[in-house]
Amino acid sequence: MGYIKNRGTTRRPNYWLRLWQGGKRVEVAAKTASGARAHTRAEAEAILRVLERAAIEGELGAVLPRRGRGLSLGELRDRFVEAGRATVKDAGEYARDTRNLLGHAVKRFGEGRAVDSLTVRDLEAWRDDMLAHGHKRQTIANRLHRLSVALRWAMRERLVTRRDLPTRSVELPPARRLGEPLRPEDYFTPADAGAMLAWLAAPERTAWAPVVAAALLSGARLGELRKLTWRDVDLARGSLLLRQTKNSRDRQVPIGEDLRAILAAWRARPWHSDDSLVFAEGDRVPDGKVQWERLQAACDGCGLRRRPFHALRHSYASALAERGVNLLTISRLLGHGSVLVTGRYSHVADADLRAAVSTLRFDAPSPAPKPKRPKRARKPKLRLVS
């Protein structure tokens, strides 16, 4: 798996070790974890055996020789955030997202934890803990991916001594299949959604209700709603024009009377104009974390199970499916690239499917009656005339 290379002379050897982990070559000096250099080939072989075992177990970074104190996780977070500001278009939002995602790793392992000491076992234990707390696969993947990007950047900038990437060996939970039915905790029932809207309509929470109502009554994503301007809202015709959606296409979404009334009342706020963002509160639109916290407060206030903000979009599609709307129409309303994605809502319409199947009959045909033989015409009788 690895081999030894002498970069010195026979009298004064300088042994280096070369081995592979995760398809990448790692070349280090033949030193122990304490920093003592190998003076003989036998000592170098002993160190190589230790590194090979660690590479197989995915813990090579934990046994490589250290140089100095090393970079801590808190320092990695701060320096990576500052370095990323100059390379992305929306520096402020990227910095917030990166700081939040890396903040979970810092909270788990500590501000002063050395980056070089992270092992695959540490990250797998963190993954299992997130699963035990009910985090979804995508949430776990986002946190590990951002940590992986930060580690790769630190290795490229030579801020750490490790040359392996422990996140590469961490297996994620199995992904949900395309069109897999929703679970009950993924959406709100119509009764629960109605109770939540009523709770949000209280005078002290009138600023919370519009964006929740828009997500619930239009099926729009939170990112689409945060970019929506009043020029794209047609209250007279009852429609929203969502620009640059997830699939990079504009989408026209019709809205009902309930949402039109909510938006009309919200439009009367003094800071709104034709060019302003619809869901701005004063001079800015609250970010996703604020909206998530408000939704959780609404769930707690109504005695409902906590759900992510995207559950409002699932609730919209599930309610349409319960009312017998076909999946192709729901797919167009949601802006899905394929109707296969919309198949996750098909289980909600089971009652309609049973009603449709109940009319299906395959009765055995009754035997056809035998055709009647035509009656023969009687021959006239001959009379003898005397």
Is the confidence at residue 172, as pLDDT, over 50? yes
Tell me the range of 38-52, 121-135, 176-190 where mean pLDDT is highest: 121-135
Q: Bin 179: left if φ > 0, else alpha if -120 < ψ < 50, else beta.
A: left
pLDDT of residue 123: 93
Q: What number is the average pLDDT over the span 55-75?
A: 67
Residues 224-242 pLDDT 10s: 999 999 999 999 999 999 9
pLDDT of residue 301: 92
pLDDT of residue 281: 84
Distance CA 378, CA 375 (A): 9
* Residue 242 contacts residue 224 (beta carbons within 8 Å): yes
Question: What percent of the chain has pLDDT above 90?
Answer: 27
Provide CB contacts within 8 A for 141, sequence distance 6+: 172
Residue 4: CB atoms within 10 A of its CB come to 16
pLDDT of residue 350: 60
Is the confidence at residue 67, as pLDDT, over 50? no
Is the confidence at residue 182, as pLDDT, over 50? yes
Q: How confident is the model at residue 53 (pLDDT cuts 50, 70, 90)?
A: confident
**What are the residue ranges spanned by the domains of the chain?**
3-63, 73-169, 184-349
Is the confidence at residue 115, as pLDDT, over 70? yes
Distance CA 346, CA 325 (A): 10
* Residue 15 contacts residue 41 (beta carbons within 8 Å): yes
pLDDT of residue 220: 93
pLDDT of residue 104: 93
Provide CB contacts within 8 A for 322, sequence distance 6+: 190, 348, 349, 351
Of 313, 314, 316, 344, the active-site residue reads 313
Q: How confident is the model at residue 214 (pLDDT cuts 50, 70, 90)?
A: very high
Q: Is 336 a catalytic residue?
A: yes
Of 108, 137, 168, 310, the active-site residue reads 310
Residue 244 in tokens: 């640059």
Q: What number is the average pLDDT over the span 302-312?
A: 91
Q: Is 39 a catalytic residue?
A: no
Of 39, 231, 246, 289, the active-site residue reads 246
Residues 149-170 pLDDT 10s: 999 999 888 888 877 788 888 8
- Report how far apart, in Å, the C-alpha atoms of 97 and of each of 77, 174, 218, 277, 330 are: 11, 25, 26, 21, 31
Q: Is 345 a catalytic residue?
A: yes
Of 15, 187, 316, 345, the active-site residue reads 345
Q: Bin 193: left if φ > 0, else alpha if -120 < ψ < 50, else beta.
A: alpha
Q: What is the overall mean pLDDT for the chain?
A: 82
Q: What number is the average pLDDT over the span 240-262?
A: 89
Q: What number is the average pLDDT over the span 299-320?
A: 91
Is the confidence at residue 58, as pLDDT, over 70? no
pLDDT of residue 263: 92
Residue 33: CB atoms within 10 A of its CB come to 12
Is the confidence at residue 316, as pLDDT, over 90? yes
Q: What number is the average pLDDT over the span 56-61?
A: 67
Of 77, 260, 314, 336, the active-site residue reads 336
**Does the reported pTM lie above 0.75?**
no
- Report how far apart, in Å, the C-alpha atoms of 131 and of each of 140, 148, 154, 192, 340 are: 8, 19, 28, 26, 27
Q: How confident is the model at residue 352 (pLDDT cuts 50, 70, 90)?
A: low
Nearest to 331 by CA among 323, 322, 340: 340
Q: How confident is the model at residue 26 (pLDDT cuts 50, 70, 90)?
A: confident
Nearest to 118 by CA among 162, 74, 68: 162
Q: Is 246 a catalytic residue?
A: yes
- Report how far apart, in Å, the C-alpha atoms of 59 and of each of 56, 111, 214 are: 8, 21, 48
First to last CA, the chain: 134
Q: Please give the class, per CATH, of domain 184-349.
A: mainly alpha
What residue ranges in the chain does DSSP mark as E strands?
Answer: 3-6, 15-21, 24-29, 233-234, 239-242, 251-254
Residues 39-52 pLDDT 10s: 888 888 888 888 87
CATH of the structural domain 73-169, one choice from 3.40.50.300, 1.10.150.130, 2.130.10.10, 3.90.1570.10: 1.10.150.130
Distance CA 104, CA 99 (A): 9
Q: Is 221 a catalytic residue?
A: yes
Nearest to 307 by CA among 196, 202, 203: 196
Of 127, 146, 221, 344, the active-site residue reads 221
